[in-house]
A = this chain, B = another copy of it.
């Protein structure tokens, strides 16, 4: 795919890793960096979409090229939203600073969700680079790991010995949702690559 989409995936991958670290270690400077980086992701999307629309208007592309251009617009929207979700995670880190938003019982689960999201986004970058449909299907399977971690998060929140109160439960519910949605968007992009290459849909995304 377009080089800028691959760059956007790299930016989102970096933002995801930093947001998770900022959240777990209450690193305010890193949280601010992710928040600032989100503006750059938004600008990159805006510029890419303008170029894509310009190409559509000037070159009057044939059906197959048009499909690639339209898909590029959809992918850039997904990547932009993934950047927003990293921003949301970083904002929670900033809001709870100097405390960490994540209680000790949930640190491993959140780190796992962060690692899973980072790995999915990195694989997605390779899918965009190579259009490898086998790899695109792997992204979908990797998302099952994220879903399992998401269920684990709720089990810990709902355990009888939860002692961190409602506010932290609310934070962790929303944080869990941000990670899960980020992975969903990655699956959505991987499916678009799959469709572009094969002309067929991968199985339906259950969200």
Chain A interface residues (CB < 8 Å from chain B): 53, 56-57, 60, 62-63, 66-67, 70, 73-74, 77, 84, 154, 157-158, 162, 166-167, 169-170, 173-174, 177, 207
Contacts and interface: CB of A to CB of B under 8 A. Distances in A.
Contacts of A73: 70, 73-74
A74 B49 CA distance: 12
Chain A at the B interface: SS class:
helix
Contacts of A66: 53, 56-57
A96 to B, nearest CB: 14
B77 A53 contact: no
Contacts of A170: 154, 157-158, 169-170, 173
A174 B181 CA distance: 13
